[in-house]
Each structure stands twice: as structure tokens, then as C-alpha cells.
Structure 1
């Protein structure tokens, strides 16, 4: 009797196990950890090279009142490699401070990506990721197709030097490395970015 019961139960258990394995096999593979995926962002190797169409003093009139040099900070690049001295970033440049947990930052990041494409050769677009986790920043970059270089400033050194703690915050830097304007009014769209670039850097960005 026991032998007959065993012969009946064993095939049933094997069938159930087979169903479980099949079901697990149908589930999508988990997303690899951020450290195992290539970064979506461009490396920082070219940040010290001025845009092709830029020359010292070009694109701007007389220095704006209160214009200041970029702070003397050295930040790491999201993709690795040598740290970047902020003052070595060749202008004209638009530097956007952002974090993945900040809703206005998430809203405006695609507009900065489009600016980097439309203004290629005229100015550089650079991101500074602040108070964020690497995995969250990378996931947002992947989801939104962000390709411009990203520096990392988890200690908010840039905000402290500028005495401003806004998120998001955008610096408009001229060809001579002077900060012409700091914008912290909220999420910027394509039209607002084009207007600010024209107003503070003297450059017309293609539509």
C-alpha cells in the first residue's frame, strides 16, 4: 500500500516542481545593479576644451555686475577617471545642479539634454549630481536619455561656495569662466533655457 502511494505521489511532486520552474523562467530577469551597467552619461575628458565656435570674450558684452569666477572646487566625474577642477570647465557652459529625488529637476533634465544637442559647438552642458545615490542618478539618466557629462558633489560643496542651496540650480558661465547668472526659479523648459542663454551668454540656440 505504501509503495503504491509513493508511486502516485512522486510524479505529482515532480509535476508541481516543473510548473514552478516554468513559471519562474517566464519572469523577466532583474535589472542589473547600477555598478554593473555602463553609465549613460558622457565622460568628462573634453570639459576642458572650449566649444568649437567659442573664443575668449565671445558671445557676451561687458562683464555683468556681480559676475564671479567659478568656485575653486574639484569634483569627481560620474563615469570615473581624473577628478575635474570646476574652473577648468571651458565656457560658454550651462551647469545644472540636480538630484533624482527632486521633482523639478526630473521635469527639466530632458530640456537640458535637448539644449546640449541643439547648442553643440556653441556651449557645453554639464550636470552636477548632488545629495543623491549613484543608482538613482544612473537610473534617471537611463530613463531620460541624458548623455551630457555629470560631475558628482554629494557634499553640496558647490552650493555652499555659492551660498545657495536650491534644487534645481543652473549656472550660466561665459567663455572667460565668469558666472553671469544663477537661475533657481524652478523647472526650466526649452524656451526659458534658450532665452536665458541668449540673455546671459549672448548666444542664439537653434530651435
Structure 2
């Protein structure tokens, strides 16, 4: 684990709870298919266009913009995923391995995905990152939810926010109810935001 985490360290970055801005230095991205031979720790993306089994939040047709009209690659390979086809309720987290608050909140997002299974889904979007570093995070931090890859920051540009981490709360109709760029979210904050913006109660 020490060897892997050493790959993720960026000199002079402190573990803080504020968001990383677009000016933060990042490693040169590698193509998803250029992975090391290890199997992906993340789930595949085949189920993202089907609604959660027991989704409890009703679709609200009024207000809220739709997810961006973008198509992204799944970390595990296979068919590309159109964000507009992703069925909510969902919590979409845009992150990078070189961003300390991203690493800090990922375990809480993994716990949310386990506690809210069947009610909502948690989806990761790995942004402007190297595949090796992202894979090491998944392995060492136990992150298992489906992961999309956005090497060009297309999602951030479409949402007009150049921050990571960025967490997007999406209702059952695929409409954005809230975008959080406050920094690393913990279990209690995630549960509160899910309740407030998606009308779902999950354990903190």
C-alpha cells in the first residue's frame, strides 16, 4: 500500500478540506486502455442506464438542468456511457487522485453506495488523471462503485465549474438538483445532502 500511495503524492500539497481548483498541477493523463495488467477494482457501467431497483425519489419534472450531453468511457472498458441516459437518483462524484480532498471523501462515498443500494447509485468520474493512480486509489481505499473516465474535463466545462472534488446530486428524471464544490464531504454531510436534494433517507 505504501508503494502505491507514494505514486499519488504531489509535492507541497497538503491534506485540506477545500476543493482543488483547475490550476492544481496534474499528471499527464493516460488512455484508459493503457492500464497495467491488474483487473479494475471498480464495477462495470452496464447497469447505469437502468433505474435503481427500489428508487424512492419520484421524478420531478419541474426545474433543474439535465446531465450534460456527453459520452464517457467506462474505466472497465466496454461500451461508452451517455450521461443523459444515466438513470437516477444518483450521486455523481468528479475526482482525481492528485487532489487530497478527493482522496479524503472517496471512502465516505463508497459507504454511501453500500448503505443506499437500491435507493440510489453512486457514480465516479475520474478527471484529468493517470489510470495507474486512479486504479491504486480504488485498490487501496476500497472504492468499488462504477467509474467513468473524463480526461478532458468535459463534465466540469459543461457544468461551468472547474473544481474537484465536485459532487452532483441527480434526481430520478436525470435532472441536477445540487452541485457541491465545498470540499471533502463526510458521511453525515452526504446523508444530509441526499435527504435535502433527493428526498431519500440513508444512514449516516
What is the RMSD of the two structures over their aligned residues, measured on CA atoms? 1.8
- The CA distance in 1 between the partners of 2:152 and 2:193, in whole Å, is 28
Query: How big is each residue's C-alpha offset from its partner over 1:114-164, in whole Å with a ceiling of 9 and x where there is no partner?
Result: 000000000010000001000000001100011000000010000111110
1:49 aligns with 2:50: yes
1:102 aligns with 2:99: yes
- The CA distance in 1 between the partners of 2:96 and 2:122, in whole Å, is 16
- The CA distance in 2 between the partners of 1:62 and 1:126, in whole Å, is 22
The structural deviation recorded for 1:206 is 2.6
Of structures 1 and 2, the larger Rg is shown by: 1
- Which among 173, 180, 203 is matched to residue 200 of structure 2? 203
Larger relative contact order, structure 1 or 2 (CA cutoff 8 Å, min sep 6): 2
**Structure 1 regions of 5+ residues with no counterpart?**
1-29
**Does the 8 A contact of 2:52 with 2:89 survive in 1?**
yes
- Which among 105, 127, 133 is matched to residue 130 of structure 2? 133
Mapping of residues 116-155 of structure 1, within 5 Å: 116-155=113-152
The structural deviation recorded for 1:62 is 7.4
The structure richer in helix per residue is 1
- The CA distance in 2 between the partners of 1:186 and 1:163, in whole Å, is 17
- Alignment length, in residue pairs? 173
- Which among 176, 179, 182 is matched to residue 179 of structure 1? 176
TM-score, normalised by the number of residues in structure 2: 0.81
Change (3 A) 1:121 1:84: same
TM-score, normalised by the number of residues in structure 1: 0.80
Provide runs of 4+ in structure 1 moved above 2 Å.
Answer: 58-64
**Does the 8 A contact of 2:127 with 2:149 survive in 1?**
yes
